[in-house]
Copies of this chain bind each other. A is one copy, B any other.
Amino acid sequence: MLCFDIYAANHAFARVYKPLLDPLGLTYPQFLVMLVLWAEAPLSVGTIGKRLGLSSNTLTPLLKRLAQTGYVTRRRDGADERRVQVDLTESGAALRERADHVQQCATRATGMSLEDMQALQDQLQRLSAHLLESGRA
């Protein structure tokens, strides 16, 4: 079963990342949120959720922990008081360099060439698109 192998690969990645992320004070999902913010910040809770496929019920407590750790700030958008803008702190932005090293370690751990990795990513993206599409039908 394909779902089985993806489940296993996801676990395997989480296990590779955990010892690398522990010194940074990040969990694996928190790291994924930071990846999104390093690419573009500030972002609203909802926008982060769209990028990761998560909703506020998961993100709100996660972001509160990131804020408590001191990597992000959360404040109401002045223009639209419904929105909460999440931004990087200086400390959160500075973490990016150390995170790059984490990525390199993780990439090495896959044992794959960059071309194979890119091909696999393309396949997975097509797969996800198909699965989500069929969910709406």
Report whether B110 and A15 are in contact in the complex, using a CB–CB cutoff of 8 Å: no
Q: Which of A65-73, A74-82, A83-91, A116-124 contacts B (4 or more CB under 8 A)?
A: A116-124
Report whether B8 and A53 are in contact in the complex, using a CB–CB cutoff of 8 Å: yes
1-52 of chain A: CB within 8 A of chain B = 1-13, 15-17, 19, 32, 35, 52
Q: How many copies does the complex hold?
A: 2
User: What's the Cα separation between A15 and B106 when bound, in Å?
Assistant: 27
Q: Interface size bucket, A side? A: 35 or more
Report whether A7 and B5 are in contact in the complex, using a CB–CB cutoff of 8 Å: no
Report whether B5 and A17 are in contact in the complex, using a CB–CB cutoff of 8 Å: no
A109 within 8 A of B: yes
Q: Which residues of B lie under 8 Å from residue A134 when comparing CB positions?
A: 16, 108-109, 111
Interchain nearest-CB distance for A17 vs B (Å): 7
**Which of B7, B9, B127 is the one whose CB lies under 8 Å from A32?**
B7
